Structure 1
Amino acid sequence: MSGITESGTRSLITSRPLLLAFCCAAALPVYAEESITVEGHYSDPVSLIAPAHSPAQQLPASDGADALKTIPGFSVLRSGGSNGDPVLRGMFGSRLMLLTDGVSTQGGCGSRMDTPTAYITPQSYDTITVIKGPQSVLWGPMGSAGTLLFERQPDYYNAPELKGSAELLQGANGRADQNLNLAFGNPHGYVRLDGNHSVADDYRDGYGNRVPGLWRKWNSGVTVGLTPDDDTLAELSVGASDGKARYAGRMMDGSRFARKSAALKLEKYHLSERFSKLSWQLYANDTDHIMDNYSLRQPVGAKRKSEVGGVVMGSRLTGVWEDESTSVTAGADVMRKNHRKKSAGAWRDDARFTQAGLFSEWRQSVTADDTVVVGARIDSVQADDRRGAQNATRHSVLPGMFTRYEYRMPDVPLTFYSGVGYTERFPDYWELFSGKAGQQSFRQLKTEKTLQWDTGVQMHGDKVSAWASAYVGRTADYILFDYSRTPSQASNIDAAVMGAETGANWNLTPTWALTGSLSYAWGENRTDKQPLPQMPPLEGRLALDYTGQKWRTGLLWRVVAPQHRVAQNKGNVTGQDLGPSAGFGVLSWSAGYIFNDHFESRVGIENLFNKYYSEHLNLAGASQFGYATNQQIPEPGRTWWLAMTYHF
């Protein structure tokens, strides 16, 4: 983008015909699979597939956001012990498209107390797929920051079989988890059972002070699959969960996080020589969230309570056509979300969102080493304001598209990619209906328009593997919250972002390995000539691991730089820049032992030297807990944990 002026870039972003021509012409050689501290592989050069459970060297995750923070480029907007909000490359909220088994689950709290990841129990899923940047059109309206897929893999059996695992975890601060994953079946079908229960008390920071952050959670799910032949799958899944959490950074706590869900999936493979797959999915989920200031804390003043929730229903139909060098995936998806509030014992809808989209993604192998991928989608999105006696409606037709060039060097373990993507994002519930966005946000906020270039390279060697990825983007009409005003208000600005992630793995010996990664994100508010708020600081990780035949041990050192580029009192619906933050370094130790084919144990100490520190992306501690104005919530001090797993 070096040859495009600021006015020219904005003109390009807002001119769709020019944009399409630009996307189709932009192809520079570069990408790569990212080799990171979590084990994973790539289904294609931009789709990292990693285990949904936490890496062996870290305390098991308490929710979906906790699981994501191990991946370079991700941060978590912290508010206490659990239920933080994931941030990818400084981007937050609906800029991240997040699906669980193809299903969109969305919270109801106007301040995102019940984030979508708060309803995710990572132990119930097999994999996390991360697609950074607007580089896929297959999973609903394109996320300008990226796409996240928590997925369970279908179970296939050649003979009757029972498999699964049971895990018990005990740790400091009253942490206790029980997880059960059980599956059984035969060549004609299977049943999968998932259950999780997790509790923790308030934790102690590095100075020994108590920090409100307890949680109580449970989750259960049943999946029944039919596989009458090798080319047919019919799967029905139902699930439910609930919990409660105390927040050091909020004036109220969450005393209910109830979720009910159901999904039906039908898939048919090899319909013809070229028509390789047809898939249809139907889903519905219901969330019920209660927040109050008395059930998990001593109330200050009058008791307050609010109950909100949402009902989401959707469907998706896709087909895949392919031959030796070409693959085309096309389809349609629809979704409707009703947001509701309970008053006088009865639910009443206050907002409704309806989305319908068409999409197609084409992958063409030009040579044995060169591949071109092009995708496009168009979405019709409507929002209905049902708060008043007369409903108000707004509607937009939003395009999304990308093109990417991939190159694998012959006879050299190097892979490159380069891609340009464009997407338009409809303002979400929190931007249109939250009181923090202002009274006129429903009528005045424009759709975001993001144009971004993503590029990367990776090397795979016998002993050393390394990767690097980078991005540069511009967003017209970026939605920014300003808390310096009373009341606060959301408005549109022009923004620029860029950053990079890099990492390497070095097998020093057959048993010793050194792994490291580095992430940096930068943002600029070009309208006000200020830094873009809520940008995570430079972060690095270095791990040294020993892995023997029966046991392993390792050290993980996380180092975070100070963050001085801030925009005081500006941010998003959940957080704002409270001021500069200090850097810190935290060292953790872990070990594990495999007793036999069925039983293994792991042990670890997080924050080995009991460091007192706070994350930059953070909420200010609530004054009733003794925190000063704008004082960030401190993280846990030294934390031990022990986990034992039995594999069936």
Structure 2
Amino acid sequence: MYKDYFPLRALSFAVAIGCFMPAISWADELHSAHEVAKPKTPPSDPVMTVTAPDLSPLTVVTNLKTPRQPVPASDGSDYLKTIPGFSQIRNGGTNGDPVFRGMFGSRLRILTNNSEMLGACPARMDAPSSYISPESFDVLTLIKGPETVLWGPGNSAGTLRFDREPPQFDKPGIKGNASLLAASNSRFDENADVSLGSEQGYIRLTGNKSRAGDYKDGNGDRVPSKWDKWNADVAVGWTPDTDSLLELTAGKGNGEARYAGRSMDGSQFERESLGIRFEKSNIGDVFDKFEASAYYNYANHIMDNYSLRSPGSMSAGMSMGSSMDMGSSMAMSGGSSMNMSTPMAMQLDRRTVGGRMMGTWLWQDFQLQSGADMQLNSHRSKGDNGWTKDARFHDYGVFSELTWYTTDKSKTIGGARLDRAIVDNYTGTGEDSRSATLPAGFIRFEHTLSDMPLMLYAGVGYTERFPDYWELFSPTYGPGGSASAFDTVKTEKTTQLDIGAQYSGQRFTGWVSAYMGQVNDFILFRYDPNNARISEADNVDALTLGGETGFSYQLTDRWKTDASLAYSYAQNRDDHKPLPQIPPLEARLGLNWESGKWSSGGLLRLVSAQHRLAENEGNVVGKDFGRSAGFAIFSANVAYKATQHVKLSVGVDNLFDTAYSEHLNLAGNSSFGYSANTPVSEPGRTGWAKINVTF
């Protein structure tokens, strides 16, 4: 359907010609142990990353252009699972839903260039990360926990930002990069990023196309999972001087994806995006910077049971994946019964408009960032009588974050924000609207020891999260079996302690990040074991704790090893049992070798069994339906830098063709022959080859 998208192919051809232009260096992998910093250009091309990007205890900043293993990601969720603490609820071959420390959905805010792209499917078939192509961006920033107030309300699990940095020119020219990927299961990716400009401004064009067939698991069985998607974006920037930027952006995208764990597939993921931002730095001695941005994002999603599969009758023991889409479909259609053996489709859309402005003030020992933001989004479904609006969300917030540099080795950071959330209900069930005032704040202390390169920190944060669209409108019932979740689901309140440390030596670096949280009125989905289409959103009190740790060690000039470990624990304190959808203990062990133009790496991923579960409980996408077994997966790669401009790499994921499935999973859909509560298996041995060109 999207195999002949001409503009992207033309852009790829332009980049191929551009490879004869002078090369530019890669942007570096990262980082600051204390704060987010823009990446600087390193002296050489980085080796492929096989475990996680280098980390500070609280903030992760990584270069999205760096090649990494497993096979390069097709969406934002696929990329995030390479970072310790992240996992995903697999949909099929693409468009999974990210989970951080066992927390899901709007507890993890995902931003692209300061904007938020919200999906339309009532069962999150088009999660926000499904509209993100990671290689189209430059920098990924993760701030763990409620330890910032700058980027919107309710971010109890963390804040994620995918950003494109303005290209810098000291004379007129062209620069950029391109890549081609071929892999098992008929996968082909094309990516291009081209900037033309001068000191006065630039035009940046980015485009990508990714497609794949169904993959085979370790047993050689085909798993319905094919996809075909594309994105194209343009940015026009005006830089009248080194301290000023005015940028306009626009983008479109679309795609389709087949899902083994759902009763419907996604036959359209149409995206439209517009944005504008202004930045002015070095304004004065005290008022240092002003920045403002506004955006418009539109998602138009179609799901059906005939474009990418043949409609089939549903068995009485319907699987979880079936229930999710059918339950949402019934809710949207007034609860009428549906026969899934007949062709059917649903079209939904969501418009999101927002913006923010922020100023930065500097004194001798203080930095103050203060501003305001807002967002308005509306959700609709299309029926025989045209479009019908069912919900509209408003949020207006003000925030301030103060950093006090108490000494050369210590600083204290604190922040507060206040939001007003209003939701209008057009479904005709429950109240017409509801609103709440949402406070949030944090304070954190960081200190670097004077006699060794060791940084320590401790912080505590509080945030209150308003229920999102999927928690208010997707459940069949509210708490206690009430007729409307919209009326009765409470706001979620999280208080969390974060502690951590980082050591940065000459050959050894290590870090640890730990947390413990109390969540009052945690929003939990419960499912009827006899009729999985019936769900209830409930509020419970919960305890969460866990953390991530890792290290890297330069064994010799050519050999480097690294490792990471992530663990999450969560308890339902009301019912005295585990919270559902918590990933098991996971470790990653990596070994890299580099000599001249050659480099190679190996990755061993070890995941333990998960026996802590809450059967028939979960979230709007998945539920706990059984214990999971542990597994070990080994992957390897080798790369060759043919010229200063061209790098070739090949790799094999799951080298030993292990048959396994993740704990966070959907049960396979009976339309594809799966029995109830059969988890969707992961890909078997996958070979791939990639060429990267910079110019």
Please tell me the TM-score bracket, short chain as reference.
Answer: over 0.9
Residue 413 in structure 1 maps to residue 460 in structure 2: no
Distance 1:32 1:318 in 2: 21
Letter in 2 for 1:626: G
Q: 1:57, 1:591 within 8 Å by CA — same for their partners in 2?
A: no
Distance 1:54 1:36 in 2: 11
Residue 633 in structure 1 maps to residue 683 in structure 2: no
Q: Deviations over 1:318-369 (max 9, x none)?
A: 0000133210000000100001111226322110000000000000011111
Q: 1:172, 1:641 within 8 Å by CA — same for their partners in 2?
A: yes
Secondary structure of the 1:580 match is coil
Residue 367 in structure 1 maps to residue 407 in structure 2: yes
Match of 2:576 in 1: 529
Distance 1:571 1:533, change over 3 A: same
Distance 2:470 2:380 in 1: 13
Distance 1:410 1:605 in 2: 45
- How many Å apart are 1:98 and its aligned residue? 1.1
- With 523-532 and 389-398 compared, the bigger mean Cα shift is at 389-398
Distance 1:502 1:604 in 2: 26
Letter in 2 for 1:106: L
- How many Å apart are 1:53 and its aligned residue? 4.3
Distance 1:390 1:407 in 2: 51
- Please list, as runs of the form range in 1=range in 2, the aligned pairs for 1:156-175 lying within 5 A after superposition: 156-175=168-187
- How many Å apart are 1:158 and its aligned residue? 1.1
- How many Å apart are 1:71 and its aligned residue? 0.5
Q: 1:136, 1:142 within 8 Å by CA — same for their partners in 2?
A: no
Alignment counterpart, residue 591 of structure 1, candidates 633, 638, 641: 638
- Please list, as runs of the form range in 1=range in 2, the aligned pairs for 1:454-493 lying within 5 A after superposition: 454-484=498-528, 486=531, 487-493=534-540
Structure 1: gaps (5+ residues): 1-30
Q: Deviations over 1:33-75 (max 9, x none)?
A: 9999344566xx7322112246433311010001101100100
Residue 423 in structure 1 maps to residue 463 in structure 2: yes
Distance 1:54 1:524 in 2: 37
Q: 2:116, 2:352 within 8 Å by CA — same for their partners in 1?
A: yes
Q: 2:429, 2:484 within 8 Å by CA — same for their partners in 1?
A: no
Match of 1:139 in 2: 151
Q: Deviations over 1:222-251 (max 9, x none)?
A: 000000011210000000000000000000
Distance 1:92 1:613 in 2: 23
Distance 1:298 1:202 in 2: 15
- How many Å apart are 1:597 and its aligned residue? 0.8
Match of 1:294 in 2: 306
Secondary structure of the 1:422 match is strand
Q: Deviations over 1:169-220 (max 9, x none)?
A: 1000010001111011100001100000110000000010000000000000
Distance 2:96 2:449 in 1: 41
Give the aligned length: 616
Distance 1:329 1:155 in 2: 25
Distance 2:146 2:64 in 1: 22
- How many Å apart are 1:506 and its aligned residue? 0.8
- Please list, as runs of the form range in 1=range in 2, the aligned pairs for 1:37-436 lying within 5 A after superposition: 37-40=51-54, 46-53=58-65, 55-300=67-312, 301-344=341-384, 346-388=386-428, 392-436=432-476
Distance 1:324 1:511, change over 3 A: farther
Secondary structure of the 1:367 match is coil
Letter in 2 for 1:201: G
Distance 1:512 1:347 in 2: 60
Distance 2:408 2:51 in 1: 30
Match of 2:7 in 1: none
- How many Å apart are 1:391 and its aligned residue? 6.6
Secondary structure of the 1:488 match is strand
Match of 2:43 in 1: none
Distance 2:212 2:380 in 1: 30
Distance 2:256 2:409 in 1: 52
Identity of aligned residues (%): 47
Distance 1:71 1:411 in 2: 31
RMSD across aligned C-alpha pairs, in angstroms? 1.6
Distance 2:353 2:600 in 1: 46
- With 375-384 and 622-631 compared, the bigger mean Cα shift is at 622-631
Distance 1:566 1:548 in 2: 47
Q: 1:436, 1:573 within 8 Å by CA — same for their partners in 2?
A: no
Alignment counterpart, residue 495 of structure 2, candidates 451, 455, 458: 451
Letter in 1 for 2:670: S
Q: 1:480, 1:490 within 8 Å by CA — same for their partners in 2?
A: yes
Alignment counterpart, residue 563 of structure 2, candidates 504, 516, 532: 516
Letter in 2 for 1:110: P
Distance 2:488 2:360 in 1: 40
Residue 506 in structure 1 maps to residue 556 in structure 2: no
Letter in 1 for 2:512: A
Q: Deviations over 1:275-332 (max 9, x none)?
A: 1110111110110000000000011111110001100001101000013321000000
Letter in 2 for 1:455: I
Residue 619 in structure 1 maps to residue 666 in structure 2: yes
- With 162-171 and 381-390 compared, the bigger mean Cα shift is at 381-390
Q: Deviations over 1:412-456 (max 9, x none)?
A: 110010000000000000000114555410000000000000010
Distance 2:682 2:590 in 1: 21
Letter in 2 for 1:100: T
Q: 2:58, 2:500 within 8 Å by CA — same for their partners in 1?
A: no
- How many Å apart are 1:500 and its aligned residue? 1.3
Distance 1:389 1:209 in 2: 45
Distance 1:212 1:572 in 2: 23
Distance 1:437 1:238 in 2: 40
Match of 2:329 in 1: none
- With 273-282 and 355-364 compared, the bigger mean Cα shift is at 273-282
Over 6 Å off, 4+ runs: 31-36
Letter in 1 for 2:387: W
Q: 2:50, 2:601 within 8 Å by CA — same for their partners in 1?
A: no
Structure 2: gaps (5+ residues): 1-32, 37-48, 313-340
Residue 539 in structure 1 maps to residue 553 in structure 2: no
Match of 1:549 in 2: 596
Q: 2:270, 2:300 within 8 Å by CA — same for their partners in 1?
A: yes
- With 486-495 and 283-292 compared, the bigger mean Cα shift is at 486-495
Q: 1:274, 1:323 within 8 Å by CA — same for their partners in 2?
A: yes
Q: 2:255, 2:269 within 8 Å by CA — same for their partners in 1?
A: yes
Letter in 2 for 1:532: L
Q: 1:33, 1:458 within 8 Å by CA — same for their partners in 2?
A: no
Distance 2:66 2:119 in 1: 24
